[in-house]
Structure 1
């Protein structure tokens, strides 16, 4: 109930409602405990923020922009402090990456250092600037280079028991594919 209610709260808040009254996840199911109240309040903080964004409040947009910039720059402490619920944000991060060094790392636990979309985006920007080309052109050239590299090596993956990588095109074709 707290999520559906928060969606409604964001909608009516965007029309200028002066007060929002939170609902807990246990609404109509039982008496809420402390965690239920926190979940309801957080849902409504998000709803109020969404309403402020919909109304075009500059400070709401500035907050979102600050969070996005902190995320892109891997400024973990700023991300925690700017979160609607800093305590939970920090706990989620520390559950997977508890070491202090992880709070200055330029990657998160989702994609890791090799597949970080934000780091790859920055590499594309740096490459484009260094080559004097647009980011779109840098991506096009990079994709062409990787396609050539893939076709030359033709290595898709390595099975746990195999000593050699399985080559693209070897073995039976997938259903619906023809060579």
Structure 2
């Protein structure tokens, strides 16, 4: 049964083993999940779908979001970078640049600032399945809201 305590212990165990970075899906908030209801492909990210199911089944906010500063302290202690996972990335071009994707992106920007406060390096996972005419908007939003943190797809 997934819980913050199990997750935290796993992070610490892997930190001690020398992991270089963690992918954390902390930007997927409970209030964003309904925004995916009209998607053609729903939530396609493995980490995103796990966290969405956890939030819905427990009727609670994402424990990674709630404990993000604790995650940052672990990363700072063990010199681990964070890859902020895009759990609500589109799984098809039909869903690209939708409300859910951008809501999560803005939260990833907030989390980036928190990580930097702890001197933790951050990269932002970017989406695939974005048609060429929507890439510019995607990049503009990422650069603006994620403070020019490295963006990769």
Give TM class, smaller chain.
Answer: under 0.3
Higher strand proportion, which one? 2
What TM-score comes out, normalization by structure 1 length?
0.23
What TM-score comes out, normalization by structure 2 length?
0.26
Bigger radius of gyration, 1 or 2?
1
